[in-house]
């Protein structure tokens, strides 16, 4: 992470998109903001739902955001990262981000899945057949109520404040910097 920050600072022109106030630039900013917002909501919902329903990791969670994807927290991280990239960086950085994300999180996901298969034999395999790993099926999103798969409680936001505040600071700094 430190190396990435150093490279971005040293080669700013290569990474950052020029600030052109055209429709494409503004569209990417809006899409990026929406992705960050949605990613944060998914993370808050996933962490809060898991904390309330996991019985200290002794129960397989199949409801809430876990009803549409098996790894909603990683989906939230992916959306937040993509949102930041879309707001700030050139298009090729999206590919770099996806490569780094996949190399960092895919082995972790596989390791967690193996652990869950051992903890919940049979049940976890059936869950895997019903629910995709990271990208929700459109049919699931349409069929289910948003409150069903993205439940939110104010107390859950309080627990995520350490990730919400830096994101807000980043967004405000971005808009102040681009003026």
- DSSP per residue, 10-59: HTHHHHBPP---SHHHHHHHHHHHHHHHHHHHHHHHHHHHHHHHSTTTTS
Of 9 and 143, the structure prediction assigns the larger pLDDT to 143
How confident is the model over 50-67, as a mean pLDDT?
Answer: 88
Domains of the chain (ranges; CATH) run 19-177 (1.20.120.1630)
How long a stretch of residues is the chain?
Answer: 179
Which pLDDT does position 178 carry in this prediction?
Answer: 57
Q: Distance of CA 13 to CAs 21, 40, 84, 114, Å? A: 17, 29, 17, 43
Reference 69, options 136, 124, 115; nearest CA is 136
Which pLDDT does position 99 carry in this prediction?
Answer: 94
For residues 130 and 66, the answer to whether their CB atoms sit within 8 Å is: no
pLDDT-derived band at 177 (thresholds 50, 70, 90) equals: low
Which pLDDT does position 116 carry in this prediction?
Answer: 94
Q: Which of 16-20, 71-75, 97-101 has the lowest mean pLDDT?
A: 16-20
Q: For 111-144, how does the pLDDT look when each residue is reduced to its tens digit (9 = 90+)?
A: 999 999 999 999 999 999 999 999 999 888 888 7
CA distance 173 to 30: 16
């Amino acid at each position: 992470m430190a190396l990435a920050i150093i490279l971005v600072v040293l080669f700013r022109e290569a990474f950052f998109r020029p600030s052109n106030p055209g429709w494409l630039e503004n569209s990417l900013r809006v899409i990026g903001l929406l992705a960050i917002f949605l990613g944060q909501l998914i993370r808050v919902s996933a962490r809060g739902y898991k904390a309330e329903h996991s019985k200290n990791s002794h129960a397989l969670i199949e409801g809430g955001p876990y009803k549409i994807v098996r790894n909603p927290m990683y989906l939230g991280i992916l959306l937040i990262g993509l949102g930041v990239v879309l707001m700030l960086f050139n298009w090729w950085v999206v590919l770099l981000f996806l490569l780094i994300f996949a190399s960092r999180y895919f082995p972790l996901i596989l390791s967690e899945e193996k652990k869950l298969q051992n903890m919940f034999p049979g049940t976890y395999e059936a869950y895997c057949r019903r629910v995709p790993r990271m990208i929700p099926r459109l049919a699931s999103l349409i069929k289910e109520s948003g409150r069903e798969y993205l439940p939110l409680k104010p107390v859950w936001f309080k627990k995520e404040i350490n990730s919400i505040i830096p994101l807000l600071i980043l967004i405000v700094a971005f808009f102040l910097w681009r003026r």
